[in-house]
Structure 1
Amino acid sequence: MNQKHQEDLSHIRSMMERSSRFISLSGLSGVFAGLAALIGGLYVYQLFKANGLDYFSNEHKLYGSNLVSELFLTGIIILVAALFFGLLFTIRKSKKYNLPIWTSATKNMLFNLAIPLVSGGIFCLALLYHQMYGLVAPATLIFYGLALVNAEKFTFSDVKYLGFCELVLGFISLFYIGYGLVFWIFGFGILHILYGLIMFKKYK
């Protein structure tokens, strides 16, 4: 009898979780998003070297419009790649476990994720406009961390730990402007890969 009650309670909890949280997110999404960021970050470093710029210095740099455009385009490509893999593996997991994708939990998660991300995007555009390039990497880490922490209540609670790590990296990188690219690669690349592998193993 007790076993039946426990099974019923477990089933009820599962139903409540499915209705209130977005649980179709796959750990593989994080892994491939991290790989995209890692490749993109290394490409950016090579791009600086090709243009004769020493990124690892705290000197104020003035970048040409062509370089800024190429950096912006690289960022867009990384973002599109991350979104593509996120959508791909989310759909695959949803079909595998017969989970709905577009639910009220999905809408709430995306809304809470979008507020800090859009705010951060506008802030970073302002930094580019004022040629404050050294602050772009820390700002992206900080706003992304805020977005993850803000959206955590509508998806896996583990997301907040990645968010806190991104925040800490962003805050530290504010004091090491010349090494912003290193922090960015570590935060968006390596941390994403590690987080994705942990999540895949835990929720596969």
Structure 2
Amino acid sequence: MFFKVLYMDTQNYLQDLKEIKELMNKSTLFISLSGLSGILAGIYALIGAAVVYYLIENHEGYYITLESKTFKLIVLTAMVVLLASLVTAYVMTVNKATKAGEKMWNSASKRLLINFLIPLITGGIFALLLLRNGSYGLVAPVTLIFYGLACVNASKYTLRDVRYLGITEIILGLLAVEFSGYGLYFWVLGFGVCHIVYGSLMHFKYDRK
């Protein structure tokens, strides 16, 4: 009888600890990121990369200047991919948060967004300055590295898996510096393949629970 009571007390204690941990996570971490949105973002990136590759291959002339039609179409493609990814992520994250009974805009999600945007916007401005100064070969590495830094920085306020995605992006960005001229391929790996793999892992690890 004594051992039975002791066992029940232990089980209750463990359950209480689990509930306390869940409450702490809800107050400090935003855990409603959608894995499926990561998969779709990767697919969008692959489609965008295919369009960019087609534009480059069919460009008339040796160089692509900032004033050229090809460059403007490349920028437009990148903006469409980015917008589609953001809208998809927002809609699916709101849907997941609603199902989980979690508020979309709470202190954790705000900290997550701020810490993600600071490196991301900094990297975006840096990339634009590189374009302006003709350093085209560094654009791909810089965007990958700063996106990776954004993920690592934001991972403190969400699922830890985001940190590993960020580290992978940083490594790919550094490799893109070493293998100059293959920026588009590293973009495909970083923003396409990595997002699909990461999104798939997140989906099967968290979304299907």
Specify the structure having the higher radius of gyration (Cα). 2
Deviation, 1:63, is 2.5
Amino acid at match of 2:102: L
Residue 13 of structure 1 aligns to a residue in which SS? helix
Whole-angstrom CA distance in 2 between matches of 1:98 and 1:197 = 23
Of residues 42, 47, 50, the one that matches 1:39 is: 47
Instruction: Tell me the distance in 2 between the aligned counterparts of 1:186 and 1:172.
Output: 11
Can you give the 5+ residue segments of structure 2 that lack an aligned partner in the other structure? 1-8
Higher relative contact order (CA 8 A, sep 6+): 1
Task: Report the TM-score when normalising by structure 2.
Answer: 0.91
Query: Do residues 179 (structure 1) and 182 (structure 2) align?
Result: yes
Report what 1:85 is aligned to: 88
Cα distance in 1 for residues equivalent to 2:23 and 2:181: 49
- In the alignment, which of 134, 158, 172 is matched to residue 169 of structure 1? 172
Task: Select 1:110's aligned residue among 109, 113, 130.
Answer: 113
- 1:69 pairs, out of 65, 72, 76, with 72
Tell me how far apart the structure 2 counterparts of residues 179 and 114 of structure 1 sit (CA, whole Å). Answer: 27
- Following the alignment from structure 2 to structure 1, what is the Cα–Cα distance between the partners of residues 151 and 66? 33
Q: Does 1:94 align with 2:97?
A: yes
Answer whether contact 1:36 1:82 (CA < 8 A) is retained.
yes
Q: Which 4+ residue blocks in structure 1 deviate beyond 4 angstroms?
A: none
Whole-Å separation in 1 of the counterparts to 2:22 and 2:176: 40
Structure-1 separation of matches of 2:18 and 2:123: 40
RMSD: 1.3
Please tell me whether the aligned partners of residues 64 and 70 of structure 2 are also in contact (alpha carbons under 8 angstroms).
Answer: no
Q: Secondary structure at the match of 2:102?
A: coil
- SS of the residue corresponding to residue 181 of structure 2 reads helix
Q: How many residues align?
A: 198
Q: Secondary structure, in 3 states, of the residue corresponding to 1:174?
A: helix
TM-score, normalised via structure 1 length: 0.93
- Identical residues among aligned pairs (%): 46
Specify the code of the residue in structure 1 equivalent to 2:48. Answer: G
Aligned counterpart in structure 2 of residue 151 of structure 1, from 146, 149, 154: 154
Amino acid at match of 2:56: F
| Cα separation, 2, equivalents of 1:168 and 1:134 | 17
Contact 1:62 1:131 in 2 (8 A): no
Task: Mark the runs of 5 or more structure 1 residues left unpaired by the alignment.
Answer: 55-60
Please list the CA deviations of residues 89-148 of structure 1 after superposition, one character each: whole Å capped at 9, or x if unmatched. Answer: 101111221111101011111111111001101101101111221211111100000000
Residue deviations 1:23-51, cap 9 Å, x none?
A: 11010111011111111011100110111
